[in-house]
Homo-oligomer: A and B are copies of this chain.
Amino acid sequence: MQRSFSINPIGVVRKTDDDTCIEIFDDYVDGLMGLEGFSHIFVFYWFHQNDTPEKRKTLQVHPRKDPRNPLTGVFATHSPLRPNLIALTRCKIDALANNIIEVEEIDAHDGTPVIDIKCYIPPEDEAVRLPDWVRMNREDAH
């Protein structure tokens, strides 16, 4: 299985001082029908600035580039350095109009290619275990 697959952007992140939105390209607008029923979406985007053979070979990082976090495999993180440069983030929808999804915020730069959107449905059971570095980072954030 060394076949590769092809991803075509369906939209782009647009950020101004006032607004943060996802612009969906005209060819894909029909895919938005019914999105107004959801408060949140999963947005998949491409870490396009890291799309070099070298960066795609990175397999271990200090999460959040913080040396206090232990060296960790990229698959145990959400690092922007990874073999396939898929980013996943959850966004709250502020408004929907035609091909524009206004969102509360998104952790992506202006111009970032968007590759998929899915409705966000929270898991019903949340008994999860997390490593210490995640908990400590969360506490730092508060």
Which residues of A are interface residues toward B (Cβ below 8 A)?
1-10, 12, 24, 28, 30-35, 37-42, 44, 46, 48, 51, 59-60, 70-78, 82-86, 88, 90, 113, 115-124, 126-134, 138
Contact = CB atoms under 8 A, between A and B. Distances in A.
Contact of A76 (B3, B38, B85): B38
B129 A38 contact: yes
Given A88-B88, A128-B122, A33 B73 contact: yes
Given A40-B128, A42-B88, A84-B10, A32 B119 contact: no
A81 to B, nearest CB: 10
Given A115-B84, A118-B88, A76 B33 contact: yes
Contacts of A59: 28, 30-31
8 contacts: A28-B59, A31-B73, A33-B71, A34-B70, A40-B129, A41-B75, A84-B115, A86-B116
